[in-house]
């Protein structure tokens, strides 16, 4: 009959870290005689690019090139404890642990270089290209490999550091719910535009405009990847996905990708995104966790857009064609 359009908005917060704290993560750093800093962890990369982002944080904190930083993770025999990759926590927790470990490693490294250059450790800087030298004296510098070899063979010193991020678990007051459920909060506002076919109940998301405030971006390309991926996941949640389509009836479960409807390439709408950066007080370089929230914000924005288009009060998801048609029927 008719295709009608609507616009909807949502604005959300998302807490960083396990709800009540008590979720420490450790990092150990040691420098080999190749000039490489090995960062040992037990954190997992779910495909979001954790290994890359943590190498960036390590390189920044140490003042060395990315090529001199190796992330060694995924083995409980060699990696210190990490609570796990969930709760939008790992970049925040492991990042802070890495910065702390880097400070300790740098201290010994600078002592070695100070001896080599006959300078004071306080006068040294790591320039990010692989050299450590005296501030303001471009000629007085040595390369990481030479510093590492001198430490090992000349001074008998190990360049290593230990780090941990720890927020104690303070529990919940059972009477009032008083608690400390976040380390910091990220924010987002999403505007969705939809077109609804009032005859078939079919919904097409035309566009998603997103603004995220996530403290500081470590890797803007990976941030964009999270927003794009999360937006499509949220779209799937809003329109298609449920394991029990007639919940709470447990029947009619989908057994695989042919029956469980997920968004495909033609369903991906026009997307525009902007990232604001207000560095957090306690994140590594001001980072806030935002991995999860990119799938949250689009869902109510899309459902609000559908209600805006139809004049309905749909309050569940997924909004399948059946839900749309029943809502239109109820309106009559």
Q: Which of residues 28-47 bind other proteins (CB under 8 A)?
A: 42-47
Report the alpha-carbon distance of residue 4 to residue 194 in Å, rounded: 8
Number of residues this chain uses to bind other proteins (CB under 8 A): 121
Partners of residue 133 on adjacent β-strands: 125, 141
Q: From the list 104, 195, 197, 292, which residue makes contact with other proteins (rule: CB under 8 A)? A: 292
CB within 8 A of 109, min separation 6: which ones?
31, 132, 147, 151, 159
Residue 22 touching other proteins (CB under 8 A): yes
Residue 66 binds to other proteins (criterion: CB under 8 A): yes
Stretch binding other proteins (CB under 8 A), from 101-109, 133-141, 144-152, 284-292: 284-292
Which residue, 150 or 260, has its beta carbon nearer to other proteins? 260
Binding residues for other proteins restricted to 84-123, rule: CB under 8 A: 84-87
Q: Are strands 124-126 and 3-15 parallel, antiparallel or unpaired?
A: unpaired
What's the CA gap between 247 and 245, in Å, rounded?
6
Phi, psi of 113 (to 5 degrees): -65, -35
The yes-or-no answer on residue 292 being catalytic is: yes
From residue 134 to residue 173, the character string flagging contacts with other proteins as x (rule: CB under 8 A) and all else as - is -----------------------------------x--x-
For the chain, state the CA radius of gyration. Answer: 25
Given 40, 96, 108, 184, the residue binding other proteins (CB under 8 A): 184
Name the DSSP class of 197.
E
Please select the residue that binds other proteins; options are 3, 200, 264, 272, rule is CB under 8 A: 272
Q: How far is the CB of 140 from other proteins (least distance, A)?
A: 21
DSSP-based three-state secondary structure for 18: coil
H or E stretch covering 192: strand 185-197
Comparing CB distances to other proteins, the nearer of 31 and 209 is 209
DSSP state letter for 221: H
Q: What is the C-alpha to C-alpha distance for residues 133 and 123, in angstroms, rounded to an integer?
A: 8
Kindly report the length of the chain: 332
The rounded distance, in Å, linking the Cα atoms of 307 and 184 is: 32
Regarding 312 and contact with other proteins (CB under 8 A), the answer is no
User: Is the CB of residue 99 less than 8 Å from the CB of residue 286?
Assistant: no
Q: Is 297 among the residues that bind other proteins (CB under 8 A)?
A: yes
One character per residue 195-234, x = contact with other proteins (rule: CB under 8 A): --------------xxxxx-xxxxxxxx-------x--x-
Q: Does 290 bind other proteins (CB under 8 A)?
A: no
Identify the residue among 158, 270, 276, 322 touching other proteins (CB under 8 A): 276
- Is residue 133 a contact residue for other proteins (CB under 8 A)? no
Query: By CB under 8 A, is residue 285 in contact with other proteins?
Result: yes
At closest approach, how far in Å is the CB of 272 from other proteins? 7
Query: Which residue of the set 292, 313, 322, 329 is catalytic?
Result: 292
Q: Least distance in Å: CB of 154 to other proteins?
A: 29
Residue of 132, 304, 309, 310 that binds other proteins (CB under 8 A): 304
Question: What are φ and ψ of residue 182, in 5° steps?
Answer: -155, 160
Q: Pairing relation of β-strands 270-276 and 203-213?
A: parallel
Contact with other proteins (CB under 8 A): which of 30, 32, 33, 51? Answer: 51
Nearby residues of 170 by Cβ (< 8 Å), 6 or more positions away: 20, 21, 179, 180
Cβ atoms of 133 and 124 closer than 8 Å:
yes
Of 110 and 116, the one with the shorter C-beta distance to other proteins is 110
User: For residues 128 and 138, which CB has a smaller minimum distance to other proteins in the complex?
Assistant: 128
Task: Supply the minimum distance, in Å, between the C-beta of residue 199 and other proteins.
Answer: 25
Name the 3-class secondary structure at 259.
coil
User: Positive or negative CA dihedral for 134, 54, 20, 279?
Assistant: positive
So which residues are the catalytic ones?
292
């Amino acid at each position: 009959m008719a295709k009608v359009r609507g616009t909807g908005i949502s604005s959300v917060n998302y807490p960083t870290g396990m709800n009540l704290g008590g979720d420490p993560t450790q990092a150990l750093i040691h420098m080999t005689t190749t000039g490489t800093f090995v960062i040992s962890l037990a954190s997992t990369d779910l495909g979001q690019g954790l290994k890359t982002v943590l190498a960036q944080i390590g390189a920044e904190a140490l003042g060395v090139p990315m090529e001199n930083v190796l992330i060694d993770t995924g083995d409980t025999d060699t990696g210190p404890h990490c609570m796990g990759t969930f709760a939008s926590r790992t970049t925040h927790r492991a990042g802070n642990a890495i910065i702390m470990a880097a400070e300790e490693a740098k201290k010994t490294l600078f002592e070695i270089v100070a001896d080599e250059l006959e300078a004071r450790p306080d006068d040294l800087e790591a320039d990010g290209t692989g050299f450590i030298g005296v501030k303001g004296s471009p000629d007085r510098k040595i390369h990481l490999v030479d510093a590492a070899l001198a430490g090992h063979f000349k001074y008998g010193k190990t360049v290593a550091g230990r780090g941990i991020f720890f927020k104690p678990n303070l529990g919940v007051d059972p009477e009032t719910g008083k608690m400390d459920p976040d380390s910091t909060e990220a924010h987002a506002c999403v505007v969705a535009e939809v077109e609804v076919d009032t005859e078939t109940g079919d919904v097409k998301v035309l566009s998603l405009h997103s603004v995220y405030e996530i403290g500081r971006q470590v890797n803007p390309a990976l941030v964009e990847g999270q927003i794009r991926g999360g937006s499509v996941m949220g779209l799937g949640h809003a329109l298609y996905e449920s394991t029990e389509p007639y919940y709470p009836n447990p029947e009619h479960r989908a057994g695989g990708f042919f029956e469980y409807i997920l968004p495909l390439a033609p369903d991906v709408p026009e997307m525009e995104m902007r990232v604001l950066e207000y560095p957090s007080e306690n994140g590594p370089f001001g980072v806030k966790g935002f991995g999860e929230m990119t799938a949250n914000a689009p869902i109510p924005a899309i459902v609000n857009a559908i209600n805006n288009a139809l004049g309905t009060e749909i309050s569940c998801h997924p909004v399948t064609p059946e839900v749309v048609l029943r809502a239109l029927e109820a309106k009559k």
